[in-house]
Amino acid sequence: MNWNEWLPLLVVFSSLIPGLVIFGLPEKNIRTRTALNMFGAVAKLALVVWMLWGVYNEYHFETRLALLPGLDLVLRAGPFALIFVTLSTVLWLVTTVYAIGYLENSPHRSRFFGFFSLCVTATVGVALSGNMITFLLFYELLTLSTYPLVVHRGTEEARRAGQTYLIYTIVGGAMLLLGTVWLYNLTGSLEFTPRGFIQAIALEHQAALIIIFILLIGGFGVKAALFPLHGWLPQAMVAPAPVSALLHAVAVVKAGAFGIIRVVYDVFGVESAARLGVAAPLAWLAAFTIIYGSLRALFQDDLKRRLAFSTVSQVSYIALGVAIAGPIATIGGVVHLVHQGIMKITLFFCAGNLAETLGIHKISEMNGVGRRMPWTMAAFTIGAFGMIGAPPIAGFVSKWYLGLGALEAEQGWVVLVLAGSSLLNAAYFLPILHRAWFCKPPDSWPQEHDFGNNKETAWALLLPPVFTAGLALAVGLLAFAPFSPLEWAQLIAKREFYQP
């Protein structure tokens, strides 16, 4: 194997090996654990930057290992894989810094960071998968590695949330396995192919392929929180803030959305999906989920639950852009994979800061908190306006391209969905900002933690949301800069999804 064949495997191992070592570390060995966490995150980032440069210049990076007769374990770094790998890698580094500060005095840190590293390993494996069997293996590893993170606190509420999460994801995994086996039986292949690999049998096996599409979208729709498969997500908010950030912005829901894109473009292909009549129902389901999630968010007083229902809504923008099946809408959906991750992780970091520093968990407790924690709430404000779609923040770019793509595809009803969603986003975010900035603060906070020297909060908790908020603003302002998420999404559409 040459260097180009080793590189995808090394990217996976850069978090796997530190994670396995961390499991064996004593709780008191803080320095070694922190060093391993940071080394793995920085090493992965360096390897991914190298792959980005290589893929941009049309180098080929692929690891292929024999798995079963006729089926290989394939890790391949194409433009689409790398946009998700880069998001996961950058946000893993930031979340690692945040988690080190958040869990400073918590028990079971070695267990937490071990599974944390396995979770990112599985996410990167999902992103780099070159066929459905590799995708399925890493997708199930993601389920197994995130369950201990959801139940980390060990409370009865956490155990119930973990049980719900397992029920949903195991059922989703079974649907995915059934669809994958059936697909292999029909086609004799599971290799991801630009414009899909089912075209040769699309006319002959229409009924079977429609059922397979439903099974695959159902399997991925659980993690992507498509209605009615979203029920686990709000309950999982009992997990610590770094886990919530990981679930919503980096790993689980993004892996589901990523899988939906793979099915539509690299398994079925947009032409075959349209011919079979499965793209339009997916678009309607995504549109319904967008509005449903926003309406549910309106009535949540718990801050993290409101953000969770916001995720239910926002992630479906990705599925909607894919289902519209036009180049511009595809760009909007793919770039929202990145933009939503950056904005949502900012919001969950800020929610964690409020809980950890002042004991604030509910929106009704946030009166005047902007005066006590101005940097945290400034970052939250940028994330919230981005979710609403206000320019020049990243969310505006996503919605603009989704709207243009809908008009290009003569799907004007989608513009109404986007407009309605933005109004609902404003309805559940602006009251939070009004409370935080314009209402009188209370005489005391629910449970204030003293960091000394009149500091807002610990630096490890403050720097990550400030950085990601700045990043959300930067990728909006510099949307047309080289290597920006938008420019890379355009590259994906050109090279992979809409090849001539």
| CA 86/CA 44 separation, integer angstroms | 9
Instruction: Find how far residue 366's CA is from the centre of its chain.
Output: 27
Question: What is residue 441's DSSP assignment?
Answer: P
Taking the CA atoms of the chain, what radius of gyration do you get in angstroms? 21
Helix segments in 231-326, DSSP class H: 232-235, 241-245, 252-262, 270-276, 279-298, 303-324
- The whole-angstrom separation of Cα 217 and Cα 259 is 8
What is this structure's pTM?
0.91
Q: Are 406 and 412 in contact (CB under 8 A)?
A: yes
Tell me how far apart the alpha carbons of residues 165 and 406 are, in angstroms, rounded to a whole number. 34
Q: What is the pLDDT of residue 362?
A: 92
Tell me how many domains the chain contains: 1
Residues for the chain: how many in total?
500
Q: How does pLDDT run across 321-366, given as a tens digit for each residue?
A: 988 878 898 899 999 999 999 999 999 999 988 988 888 889 999 9
What integer pLDDT is reported at residue 404 of this predicted model? 92
In this prediction, the residues of the chain whose per-residue pLDDT falls under 70 are 1-2, 104-107, 154, 202-203, 237-239, 248, 450-454, 498-500
32: containing domain: 3-497
Q: Please, are residues 329 and 409 in contact by the beta-carbon 8 Å criterion?
A: yes
State yes or no: cis peptide before 374, omega within 30 of 0.
no
Q: Tell me, what's the pLDDT at 342?
A: 92
